[in-house]
Structure formats: C-alpha cells, structure tokens
Amino acid sequence: MEPAPLNISAYVVLSAILFAMGALGVLIRRNAILVFMSVELMLNAANLALIAFARFYNQMDGQILVFFVMTVAAAEVAVGLALIVVIFRTRRSINIDELSRLKD
Amino acid sequence: MGLETFLFIIVGAVAVAAAAGMLFSKSGIHSALFLVLNLACVAVFYLMLSAPFMAMVQITVYAGAIMVLFLFVIMLLGSERIDLGLTDRRLGFQTPAAFALAVLFIVVVAAAVLTGQIPAPQPVNDVQATTHGGPGEVGAVLYTRYLLPFEMVAVLLLAATIGAVVLARDVIPTKRSQRAQMGRIRELRQMITTIETEAASAPGADGEGAEEEAAAPAPAAPAGE
Amino acid sequence: MEVFDLVPLIVFIPIAGLLLNAWIGRYLSEKGIAWIACGAAGLSFLVAVALGLGLAGGSEGKIVPIVDWIKLPAVGVDIPWAMRVDTLSVTMMLAVAGVGTLIHIYAVGYMHGDARFGRFFIYMNLFLASMLLLVTGNNFLVLFVGWELVGLCSFLLIGFWLHRDAPDPETGIIGGIKNTNAAKKAFIVNRVGDFGFILAILLIWWTFGTLDFGPIQGAAHAAGHEEVAAGEVHEAAPESAPGGEAVAPVTPEGVCQPTGEGVFPMAEAFMAAGCNVKLGSAEVPIGTLIVVVTLLMLVGVTGKSAQIPLFVWLPDAMAGPTPVSALIHAATMVTAGVYLVTRNNVLYEAARGVNILPFGLSPPDIVALVGAITAFMAGTIAVAQWDIKRVLAYSTISQLGFMVAAVGLGGYVAGMFHLVTHAFFKALLFLAAGSVIHGVEHGAHHAHEHGTHEARTFGYREGVLDPQDMRNMGGLRRRMPVTFWVYVIGALALAGIFPFAGFWSKDEILLDAFLRGSEYGDPTGWLVLILLIGAAAFTAFYMGRQVFMIFFGAPRTQAAGHASENPPIMTYPLIVLAALSTLGGLLNVPGLHPFGTWLEQSVPHAHTADFNVLLALVALAIAGVAVALAVVIYYMRPALTSDGLDRLQRPLGPLWTFLHRKWLWDEAYHNAVIRPFNALGGLLAHLDVRYLRDGLDQGLYGGFNRIAAFLGGDFDLGIIDRVVNGVGRVTQQLAGQARHLQTGYVRNYALSVMLGVLAVLLILLLPLLFGQ
C-alpha cells in the first residue's frame, strides 16, 4: 500500500518555524541588512504556506499570490537597499539602534 | 515512511538549520549565503508541492536576483561592518523577549494545526497534481483572472525602479542649488539677528526674556543698547 | 519542393544583407557595401520573378508557414507567421523589389562619399525587407508588423541627414534639427493612422477569432471550401479539419459563430447569413461591425498612404536623401495603404451594401471621396511649389489619391495597375530630380572653384544656394541631356499622355468612376470623376511648369550654368525606369487585360472595364490643354518674372499664397492641435504656480495669519489660554510618564508588533483549540 501522503500540517508547522525564526532575526539583529534578510525569510515562510494550501485545495490562486509576493518583495528589496545605502552614506552606519532620532 | 516524508524531514531540517545559520553567523556574507540555502530548500518544497514554475521563479528571482543584490550591498558597504549585535547594552531585555515570543508563536501555530482543529483538506490525486503548477497553468490564470493585479504590479516595479534610482543616486550640488542654500542661510541669520535685537531693545521684557538675553551671545547686544 | 517555398527568401535575403553590412560593413569599402546591399535587393527581386513565373504557369499560389508565432492553446490564441503567395502579393513583391533594386543601384552613386554610407544601405535593406514582410503576410498581425517597421524605417531615413543644414519649410530657419523634426512628424502622424488600424485589427480578432486572411480565393472559388481545407492551405483552424463536422456560421439564435476558415470567407458567410456579433453583452449586426472595421482601416490608410487629413508628413519627408524619397514614394510605404484596401476588398465590398452612415454613404464611397479630394487638392498645391522634390511629393499625394479613389470605387485592378505604373514613373522622376539636384550642386562647386559668385539665388536664405529650388535652375536641357530626356518621359507618363504608362492606368481609373456613375447610378461616381479629371488637368499643368522651369530658358544661376551630367551608375537605372514608364501600359493593354485576369485569382472583386475611347479622348484633350497652357505661361516667356516671381503669382494673388502654403493645412493643425495642446500645458503650469503654490503661500498662509492674529489676540489670551494651559499641564505630566515607552529603537517597536501578532493569533486560534 502506498504510504499516506504528507499532511498539510507538516508544511504549515515548518512554515511557522521559519516565520518565527525570521521574526527573531528582525527582533535581535541590529544590522539593517540582516533585519532586511530576516524579513525576506518571513515572506518566504508565508509563501511556503501559501503554496502548500494551493496544493491541498487544488487552487491556482495561492501560487499566483506567491508570484505577486515575490514581485513585491523584489520591489521592496530594491527600494529598501537603496534606503540602506543612503542611510549609510549620510550616517556612516547601518546599525538600526543608532537610528533613534525619531523619539526626539 | 514514504519518500516524500523522508525528503520533507531532510530538506526541512536543512532549511531550519540554514535559517538558524543566517540568524547567528557573524559575517554578513555568510548570513546571505545561508539565506540562499534556505531559499533553495523552500524551492525544493515548491517542487514537492507540484509548483514547478514557482520553484524556478524562487531560484531565479529570489535566490538569484534578490540575494545577489543583498550580497552586492553587503560588499559595497563593507562586510566587516556587520556585527552580530547579540549583546546589547541598551536593550537588555530585547533578546530574551524575542526568543520567548518566537517560541510562543511556534507553539501556538503548531498546537492549532496539529490538534486537527484547522480542517485539513485531503490532497488531490497525483494525476491532477502533475499538471498543477506548470508555467502554462500559471500563465493562463495570471493573464486572465489576475490581469489587472498583474498590470498593477508592473507599475509597482516601475515605481520601485525609479524610487531606487532616485534614492541611491549621488546628489551633486549644483552651483544654483548651492547659491540658493547660501541665500537661505543668510536670510535665517539675518532673522535671528533681528529677533535678538528686538528682544534686547524691548522695554518691558519679562523675566524669561531677560534670561534669554543674558544667555544670548554678545555680538547682537551692543546694537540694541 | 515547389517554387513557392522560396518565398521566405524574399524577406530573409535583405535581412541577411543588412546583417552582413552591419557586422562587416565597417571593414568594407563603399563598393563592397554597395555590392552586398544591391545584391540582396536584386536577389529578392529574382525570387519575386520566380514566384511570378510560378503563378503565371497556372498554379494557384500557396500559403507557406514559417513559424508558430503566437501560440497560447490555453486561451485559444494561435497566430502563425505564414507567407501568402498569390497574384496580388506577387505583384507587390515585383514592384517593391524591382523598383527598390533600381533605387539601391542609383543610391550607390548618389550617396557616394557620405560619411554614413554603410548605415544608409542597412536602413535601405531594412526598408525593403519590412515592405516585403508587409505584402507577404498572411494575417493582419504580420501585415501590421511590416506596417510598423516601414514607419520606423521611414523615420530613420527621413532623418538620415540629421546633422545637415536644411531649411524649415515654415520659418526658413536653417539647422540640422529640422531634418529630425520632419522624421518625427512622419512618425507621429503615421502613429495616428496606425492607431485606427490597430483598433480595426482588434475588432477583427473579436469578431472572427482569427487574423488569418483565409484560403487563397481562386482556389476557394474553384474547388469549394471543403477541398481547400483538406488541400494545401496552411492548417489554421482545427475546427474545420478534414473529416470533422463543418461548423455552421450562425447559431440558431442568429449569433455569428467563427468557423475558423479565415477572415474573408467568414465575413462573406456572416454577411450572407446577416447574423449578429456578440461583443461582450451587446449584439451588433455584422454589417455595422464591418463598416466600423473598414472605416478604422481607412484611418490607417490615410496615415500611411498620405491622404487627407493625415498627408502632411509626406511633403516634409523630402528632407531625406533623394533615393529615400523615391523609395518611400514609388515602391514602399505609401503604396501600403492601397495594398491594404485591395487586400481587404472582400470587407470593403461587403460594407458597400450597408447603409448606416449619413447621406447614404458607404465606407468604400468615403474611401473614394477621400482619394478624389486628396488628388484634387494635392494637384492644386503642386502648382505653387518651388522645391523640385516638393512638387513631386504633392504629385505623389495626388496620384495616391487616384489609387485610393480607384479602390474605393471597386476598381481594384485599376488601382493596382496605377500603383505599378506609378512606381515606375515616380521612381524615375524622383531619381531624375535627384540627378538634377546632384548636377546643380556639382555646378555650384564648379562655379565656386572658378571664382564666379552668384548674382542672385532663391530659396531659404539669400546668398546660400538651394540646389532643390527650381528658381535656381533653368536651361539644364543642354547640360544634362540624359536626365532631361528621362525626366520628360516621366513627366509625360505622369501627365497621362498617350502612349506612356500613366495614360493607360489613369484612364482605367477614370473609366471606373464613369461606370460607377453611369451604370450604378451612384452620384459618388460622378463627383469622383469630376474631381479626378480636374486633378489630372492640374497634373499635366504642373509637370509642364516644372519641366519648362528646370530644363528650358536660360540658366538663372551660375550653378545651373555649370551643372554636369551624372555618372552611369546613376543614369542607367534612370534609363531602365524610363523604358518601363514608356511600356508599362502594356501590362493591362485594352482588349486583353492580362493584368486584370492575373489579379482575379487573388482579388475576388476584381473586374476590368473595357476601354472607352471617348473618355480617353476627353482626358487626353484636357491634359493636352493643360500642357499647352503651361507652354504658353512658362515657355513662351521666361519662366520667372523679372523680380523672381512665378508668372501666376501676381495674377492669382492671395490664392497663390494659399496654394503655396498647401491650403494652410499645417497652420490648421498648428492651431487646432498643437496650440491647444501647448496652451493646455501652459494653463496647467499656470494653475500649478498660481493656485497651488502661490495659493498655498498667500491664500492659506495669509488667511491663517489673519485669523490667527484675531484669535491669538483677545480671544486666545482671555479664554482659551487658561483652559489650554490646564490641559497642557496635565498632558505634559502624562507624556512625561509615557515617553519612556517611546525608546526610538526600531527593534523595540518591532517587538511590540510581534506581541500584537501573537495576541491576534491567540484570539483567532483559541476558540478553535478550546471552543466546542
């Protein structure tokens, strides 16, 4: 007999783990680029969940949504990295803890 | 244990390990490369979930283009500047709180999913699945039902391109803008002088005003007196 | 392997030629480049000849698939790139490649010494390839690609001398930028027309579900649709595959149902059935739809074939080198519109019976009227031009008007016939005009070397010789005998004098108009006939004026006095074209009508009227009178008055100026389109400065200041202050406590967000976990 195929819960839990790790990265790293990469990891975890749901509900919409997420991520990375470069150029640092002028 | 389960466990472990590597490595370059590994693992999951087109897009766009951009910026800014920052003198409670929240998140989701409270759909049979996420299918849906979002995303990409160019370009001050800036500074100086003079010559200045006057730098004062 | 399978070569050879020149051209001498370019053009002409011989042998032609171009089975889009070999397309191929080759050869001499010699021939080959792509295309989209490429090439070539001084036709300002303006004008005006064509294509796609033209008509008529589908026709429609059930063109509800045969057969079937077409939720009668499609196509035609109202680009296109003018005017580009109408003769004839437009006009009537009015108007304008090429440009517009009028009247054979003969004699005239210009320029150099300087020149700037201005010429007959004789032949052919080519083809067009009026009782026919006869008279007159002004009388400048004949590489193509212009009428000689029979295979609505001696004599007499008038005015006395004016300039007065400035079309466009556009831009800028910036500054800022002064004075100090101070003090104390939360560290904020996420997650999931 064919072994039972993987349940969707496995993928969702994996996705949650990756998401939590990405969030952890955002919370504990001070380097702006690393924070940014952690955000990418979170997006990616969400994508995984979407694809899994698309597969198990047999709907294309999840995949299309992933497609759009990737596109938006690409745009976000372009602008975000440009911002980081500008910040580095003006402040000679990308430590986000030093970017605390907002409170003043 | 079926092949799929086996593959899932192996690749999942690698993915989690890669994510952890990204989080805790000291070098920015290493972090980025760990993230690439993680993205590749997720691409494998996409393949297993019969989304070959998305897997390819993941590899080319995410692991390829986006991560190269990251590496490029890391190298541009100098990788030695990327410090780990785990030991923080200002926000001591941040790190333990973050760990606690992350664990809590995983526990909540896992509990909800694994106790079967979320209705888990049955997977479709394999014949359907094989033609599920090919480029043709994706294209057919993308260019018909999702045509408008597709166009809007195109505009978004254009806006992002322009935004990135505008942000990252080196603003070289022209003669004209410099002159304008100088003019503005001169105006401000004059204004300050006028205010100081007025404050100094005001007959019935109250206590605060007098204090300020006393604190004000000397040059303006003689004119008032 | 049939001979028709050679047809891809006709496009790919010129492309190979241009690629070769683009890659290795820089290492070659002018001679090498010329060999490659002319060789490519010549070879594609040979291919066209081979195809023509194959068709003349009684074969039905063939549709040759090249590639699957756009194929999306998921949404039912299948647009292949196939080439169509039938008599119509082969006629165009022969004319385009043949005349094109001669122009290539001539250009070798004309462009000699130009810094960008290689680039010029790359563009020329591209131009040829695009035009051949256009005429060979078997569906509307391929045709459109060629159509656009031709527009691109004209842009590149008209602005070819982008650095060279050329006068702006309106202001007379000299500056290289004006050439590029002419190129942009051509491109943009064409774009307006192309937009109409694009809409027509979209409507066709919507209605018929395909863009293929359909099986070759002759075959369809001979064998019936079933055998065609089973036979040699490219399989564009799986629905009508052999053995399958033929799809009825109409559903029981009276809705048109595409059968996948191709646009033309389907249009005929739909019209016969009189069904409705579903456009979204609306149902439109097929007749209305075809009227709209044909009218939109007419917009495209007026752009590309330089008809009213979009003709304004063509005269300015003279800024390009003369071989380019010849290529645009004679062989490529402008004939595309006439070809398009002829190719769509099924649609136009179907639209003829639909009376939904005002005055009982049908789309072909409008086509005919546009053509006839254009022919007449351009003929009158040409009378009052100084520039040798500009006269020819307006004569091209006028002759295109003849062709468009002919196809609009249903005289597809006459229109195509005139297209071919016109290609001969207009290429001849342009190249001869180039030869004249070249000769005068040489004369100017010669005179300059000998230290003589001009007593008086005409043109855009005093003291600078404009070699294109006919006032600077005169008496060139003896200096350039070969050019003179070929020019006279071209002029006679254009004027429609017996027995030259133009006589026969023009006569057929007039005859078609006459028959449309007398046999069908269609008033449009009479109107068109009158306009065309008037245009023909003007044609004879202005050609006479031009010949007498250029070649007769005394030389009016030193340059004209020292002009010299050009080398054989320029004169030989002229002689060949002169021979063709003389004998071209034999193509459709009355009584036999070989050309008409030839076209019947691909143009189902082709018919040839019998020669009408009376009408021919009337036309000839009118042309003769016009030439005689030109003799009296421009030959009996010097062509210019003593103060350098045209003989007619003073008698006609403001009318002459009106004609000289082409009926003020440019001024009208300037006032109707460009000025409002600029004014709108100015207005918006003004609004921005005045109301957004100043308004913000003065209105808002000033108003606020005033209100604030009032409120801040009595009201504020007395009442508000105390309340506010109280509130402020409380707030300050609260804020003092709360500001500790505001650390300013982004990560701290992110932590709060995460906390919030968890809270929401718990609220959502807890009922699931512990509910029930």
In Å, how far is C746's CA from the nearest CA of chain B? 11
Alpha helix (H) residue ranges in B115-220: 126-130, 135-142, 147-168, 175-201, 207-215
- CB contact (8 A) between residue A97 and residue B90: yes
Q: If residue C63 lies in a helix (H) or strand (E), which one and from where to where?
A: strand C62-72
Q: How are beta strands C276-279 and C62-72 bridged, if at all? A: unpaired
Cis omega (within 30 of 0) for bond into C309? yes
CA distances to C258, C445, C446, C454, C560 from C451, in Å? 76, 10, 9, 10, 15
Confidence of residue C246 (pLDDT cuts 50, 70, 90): low
Classify residue A73: in a domain, yes or no.
yes
Q: Which of C741, C745, C751, C752 is most worth mutating to test chain A (most A CB atoms within 10 A of its CB)?
A: C745
Which residues in chain A have their CB less than 8 angstroms from residue B105's CB? 16, 19-20, 23
Residues 6-65 of chain A with CB under 8 A from chain B are 6-14, 16-25, 27-31, 33-34, 36-38, 40-41, 44, 47-48, 51-52, 54-58, 60-61, 63-64
Query: How many domains does one find in chain A?
Result: 1
Residue with tokens 């490649």: C97
Of the candidates C86, C68, C85, the residue with the CA atom closest to the CA atom of residue C77: C68
**Residue pLDDT, tens place only, B129-138:** 445 678 888 8
Which residues in chain B have their CB less than 8 angstroms from residue A70's CB? 57-58, 61-62
In Å, how far is A102's CA from the nearest CA of chain B? 16
Is residue A70 classed as helix, strand or coil in its secondary structure?
helix
Confidence of residue C238 (pLDDT cuts 50, 70, 90): very low
- Give the residue numbers spanning the domain of B134: 1-83+130-145
Is residue C87 within 8 A of residue C119, CB to CB? The reply is no
Question: Which of B101, B105, B140 is closest, CB to CB, to C74?
Answer: B140
- CB contact (8 A) between residue A41 and residue B35: yes
Q: Which of A38, A39, A50, A51 is most worth mutating to test chain B (most B CB atoms within 10 A of its CB)?
A: A51
Residues 2-21 of chain A with CB under 8 A from chain C are none
Alpha-carbon gap, residue B164 to C360, rounded angstroms:
59
- CB contact (8 A) between residue A71 and residue B156: yes
- Establish if C743 touches chain B: CB-CB under 8 angstroms: yes
Question: Which of C72, C754, C765 is closest, CB to CB, to B112?
Answer: C765
Confidence of residue C487 (pLDDT cuts 50, 70, 90): very high
Cis omega (within 30 of 0) for bond into B217? no
Query: How many domains does one find in chain B?
Result: 1
Contacts 24+ apart (CB under 8 A), B156-162: B156/A71, B156/A72, B156/A75, B157/A71, B157/A74, B157/A75, B159/A75, B160/A74, B160/A75, B160/A76, B160/A78, B160/A79, B161/A78
Output phi, psi for A29, to 5 deg.
Answer: -90, 145
Q: Does C174 have pLDDT greater than 60?
A: no
Is residue B18 within 8 A of residue B43, CB to CB? The reply is no
Which residues in chain A have their CB less than 8 angstroms from residue C753's CB? none
Residue with tokens 């995983």: B106
Classify residue B32: in a domain, yes or no.
yes
Q: Does C740 have pLDDT greater than 80?
A: no
Q: Which two tokens stand for residue C131?
A: 């035009």
Question: Which of A27-41, C272-286, C724-738 tops mean pLDDT?
Answer: A27-41
Classify residue B170: in a domain, yes or no.
no
Average pLDDT over every residue of C106-115: 86
Alpha-carbon gap, residue C17 to C122, rounded angstroms:
8
Give per-10-residue mean pLDDT for chain A (104 aa).
61 92 89 89 94 83 91 91 86 73 58
Classify residue B101: in a domain, yes or no.
no
Q: Which chains touch B (3 or more CB pairs under 8 A)?
A: A, C
Query: Interior CA angle at C27 toward C24 and C31, to 5°?
Result: 95
Of the candidates C116, C94, C85, C107, the residue with the CA atom closest to the CA atom of residue C38: C107
**Residue pLDDT, tens place only, B77-136:** 875 555 545 445 566 677 888 899 999 999 888 887 777 655 555 555 554 544 567 888
Residue B183, beta-bridge partner list: none
Q: If residue C464 lies in a helix (H) or strand (E), which one and from where to where?
A: none
Nearest chain C Cα to A23, which residue? C754
Classify residue A74: in a domain, yes or no.
yes
Residue C72, beta-bridge partner list: C77
Classify residue A1: in a domain, yes or no.
no
Q: Which of B84, B130, B167 is most worth mutating to test chain A (most A CB atoms within 10 A of its CB)?
A: B167
What are the boundaries of each domain within chain C? 1-138, 667-771
CA distances to C89, C144, C194, C299, C414 from C200, in Å? 21, 11, 10, 9, 25
Q: Which chains touch A (3 or more CB pairs under 8 A)?
A: B, C
Question: Which of B101, B115, B144 is closest, CB to CB, to C755?
Answer: B101
Q: Which two tokens stand for residue C5?
A: 């399978």
Burial A19-47 (b: 16+ CB within 10 A, else e): bbbbbbbbbbbbbbbbbbbbbbbbbbbbb
Classify residue B44: in a domain, yes or no.
yes
- CB contact (8 A) between residue A23 and residue B159: no
Is residue C283 within 8 A of residue C162, CB to CB? The reply is no
Average pLDDT over every residue of C81-85: 90
Output A19 or C2, whichever has higher pLDDT.
Answer: A19
Residues 598-637 of chain C with CB under 8 A from chain A are none
Alpha-carbon gap, residue A49 to A18, rounded angstroms:
10
Output phi, psi for C607, to 5 deg.
Answer: -155, 150
Tell me how many residue pairs between chain B and chain C have CB atoms under 8 A apart: 46
Question: Which of A2, A27, A82 is closest, CB to CB, to B94?
Answer: A27
Classify residue B98: in a domain, yes or no.
no
- Establish if C750 touches chain A: CB-CB under 8 angstroms: yes
CA distances to C165, C443, C444, C480 from C453, in Å? 21, 12, 9, 22
- Give the residue numbers spanning the domain of A45: 8-99
The enclosing domain of B44 has a CATH number of 1.20.120.1200
Measure the CA dihedral C340/C343/C347/C353, to 10°.
90
Is residue C473 within 8 A of residue C556, CB to CB? The reply is yes
Of the candidates C512, C516, C507, the residue with the CA atom closest to the CA atom of residue C615: C507
Alpha-carbon gap, residue C224 to C237, rounded angstroms:
16
Q: Which two tokens stand for residue C453?
A: 């300087």
pLDDT at residue C579, as a whole number: 92
Burial C518-553 (b: 16+ CB within 10 A, else e): eeeebebbebbbebbbbbbbbbbbbbbbbbbbbbbb
Nearest chain A Cα to C750, which residue? A27
Sign of CA dihedral C96, C101, C106, C108: positive
Of the candidates C232, C230, C278, the residue with the CA atom closest to the CA atom of residue C258: C278
Alpha-carbon gap, residue C89 to C4, rounded angstroms:
12
Alpha-carbon gap, residue C340 to C400, rounded angstroms:
13
C506: CB partners within 8 A, 6+ apart: C402, C418, C496, C536, C619
Mean pLDDT, rounded, of chain C:
83
Average pLDDT over every residue of C307-336: 84
Alpha-carbon gap, residue C424 to C481, rounded angstroms:
20
Alpha-carbon gap, residue C203 to C207, rounded angstroms:
6
Question: Which of A28, A68, A77 is closest, CB to CB, to B94?
Answer: A28
Average pLDDT over every residue of B149-168: 90
Is residue C81 within 8 A of residue C66, CB to CB? The reply is yes
The enclosing domain of A81 has a CATH number of 1.10.287.3510
The half-sphere exposure of B39 on its side-chain side, counting CA atoms within 13 A, is 28
**Residue pLDDT, tens place only, C519-577:** 887 888 889 999 999 999 999 999 999 999 889 888 888 888 888 888 888 888 899 99
Output phi, psi for A40, to 5 deg.
Answer: -60, -40
- Establish if A99 touches chain B: CB-CB under 8 angstroms: no
**In residues, how long is chain C?**
772
Residue with tokens 């520039």: C387
The one-letter code for the residue type at B41 is: C
Is residue C137 classed as helix, strand or coil in its secondary structure?
strand
- CB contact (8 A) between residue B133 and residue A84: no
ipTM passes above 0.85: yes
Contacts 24+ apart (CB under 8 A), C660-664: C660/C381, C660/C384, C660/C385, C662/C312, C662/C315, C662/C381, C662/C394, C663/C377, C663/C380, C663/C381
Alpha-carbon gap, residue C440 to C17, rounded angstroms:
33
pLDDT at residue B215, as a whole number: 47
Per 3-state DSSP, what percentage of chain B is helix, strand, and coil (rounded to 5)?
75, 0, 25
Output B220 or A46, whichever has higher pLDDT.
Answer: A46
Classify residue A19: in a domain, yes or no.
yes
Is residue C392 within 8 A of residue C314, CB to CB? The reply is no
Q: Which two tokens stand for residue B88?
A: 């923080």
